[in-house]
Structure 1
């Protein structure tokens, strides 16, 4: 007994139907494209215009367009970025200048502190020197002190006399010649003599 021929399955029928529909659509699209081309239309733009008239497709196209910035908007954003970059560079330059000035001020401050320290040391050394001179000449006989000072430069001798009390000063000048005493007297610190006289009153 011979086998009866198998009937095509339902899935195969559906597949064949889809192929027929696809082929028909492709043929219709090709014919439509050719007709539009012959009539002088641009098939791509025309198809896009027709597609935009479909509600769903038009909404998708509008959303896509709104999501993409326009050329003018893009140029505006570029200009803003340039301006911001320029401002940042200016601020960086100002910061660098401020840091440089701050470093210079720090150096000047350190230099002033060092100078002040050296000045204090010099004043301390000078005061110690004057103390030694004062003790030496005030405990020395006026005649010997006058003989030593008479051999010195007048400015230096006057400097030494200025650190002595008025009484010691007068005793030393009395033991000098009139010319030497006159030369030294003109170089003495009058203000110091006045201050001492005021304190003794």
Structure 2
């Protein structure tokens, strides 16, 4: 039984070898030889074979399928490239947005610091102004409580500008009493400057 199988296998191999060596190989050789000869004579053998193959249903449909496949692959490649560019653009825009948000946060921090610094400065200024006003009020009260003669002596020792500012804050009756105890020339100067300060 085994010998019979081996004989059948050998016969099949022999037939295929015979077909290959006796028919297929000489036919291919003859076809190539004719193509070279006709090509040398000026006939477009390859173009004619291509045209003829378009009319054969299986070959023409496979060519169209190959073209469609190539077109689809090209289109897919273009879409993939476009998609990649869009993703890169989105990543870049996200990065820009994050940078701008960081800049905004930094500016907010600086603004808050500046605002708090300005508030502190304003508070200090207001406190200093309040202290100054309080001090001026106390000085004015102390001059109003002094005897006019004693107050007049101190006023005459002050620089003219400061003396005029002090006299401008006093009550009219206290002012009159102090001016009565000051040298007449100096009293006239003070009165003139006081008048100018009240009219300006």
Q: Identify the TM-score tier after normalising by the shorter chain.
A: 0.5 to 0.7
Structure 1 residue 79 corresponds to structure 2 residue 85: yes
Match of 1:99 in 2: 105
Give the TM-score, by structure 1 length.
0.59
Moved more, 65-74 or 147-156: 65-74
What residue is the counterpart of 2:171 in the other structure? 165
User: 1:115 matched to which residue of 2?
Assistant: 121
The answer (yes or no) to whether the contact 1:158–1:184 under 8 Å persists in 2 is yes
Alignment of 1:1-201 (within 5 A): 70-188=76-194
Any idea what the Cα deviations from partners look like across 1:95-121, whole Å, max 9, x if unmatched? 122122212211221111112211221
Which whole-Å CA distance do the structure 1 matches of 2:126 and 2:192 have between them?
Answer: 30
Structure 1 residues 188 and 103: CA distance shift in structure 2, 3 A? farther
Q: Provide the aligned C-alpha RMSD in A.
A: 5.3
Gaps of 5+ in 1: 1-51, 54-61, 194-201
Once residues 88 and 186 of structure 1 are traced to their aligned partners in structure 2, the CA distance between those partners, rounded to angstroms, is 74
**Residues 162 and 189 in structure 1, CA contact (< 8 A), matched pair in contact too:** no
Higher helix share goes to which structure? Answer: 2
Q: Return closer, same or farther for 1:186/1:116 CA change in 2, 3 Å cut-off.
A: farther
- In structure 2, do the counterparts of structure 1 residues 189 and 129 end up closer, same or farther at CA, with 3 Å as the change threshold? farther
Cα deviation, 1:161-181, whole Å, max 9, x if unaligned, reads: 222112211211121112212
Structure 2, unmatched stretches of 5+, are 1-57, 60-67
